Amino acid sequence: MSLSPPAPLDVELLVPRFTPDDRQLAFIKATVATEELCSIHKFVEALTLALSRWATQTDNGRAAWKRSSKDFNVGDLSTELPDPELERHLFKVGITNFTIVLSNELLVTIDYWHYDTVLINPDLDPDSHS
């Protein structure tokens, strides 16, 4: 009996940027080789490893690192796709079909709640209904 490799998994990640001067969202899609890479922490760890190797081992990667003023982030990454050398380094860490869509307009259309959103209607104060 031979074991077949696990089926690739699709991941979708939202990476927000909320600063006083900038509100932007990066929507990332990728296929990953292992379930472990579905975890944001493990995904970012693998992505960082692939990008670090790309930046140290390729001319395009070194140039991208310099263009970013040594502050290479998801916005910088979005301008480097597609790059066959980068895709090869992503593949080596188990990431394929990697895409990024940046938008500041998505923030208008995406509903979200905040940590401090009150989840009990104050008009129905439990203390007044005892």
Cα separation, 105 vs 88, whole angstroms: 32
What confidence score (pLDDT) does residue 42 get?
92
**pLDDT category, 6, cuts 50, 70, 90?**
low
DSSP string, 57-100: H-HHHHHHHHHTTS---HHHHHHH-S-HHHHHHHHHTTEEEEEE
Answer yes or no: is pLDDT of 111 > 60: no
What CA–CA distances, in Å, run from 47 to 28, 42, 61, 116?
12, 8, 14, 32
pLDDT (0 to 100) of residue 102 = 86
Residue 8 token pair: 């690739």
Name the amino acid, one letter, at 13: L
> Could you give the angle at the alpha carbon of 28 between the alpha carbons of 89 and 74, nearest 5°?
70
Which 8-state DSSP code applies to residue 51?
H
Supply angle C-alpha 33, 37, 42, rounded to 5.
145
Q: 51 falls in which pLDDT band (50, 70, 90)?
A: very high
Q: Indicate if the pLDDT at residue 46 is higher than 70.
A: yes
Residue 54 has pLDDT above 90, yes or no: yes
Query: Which of 3 and 30 is assigned the larger pLDDT?
Result: 30
Residue type, 114: H
pLDDT average, residue stretch 85-102: 94
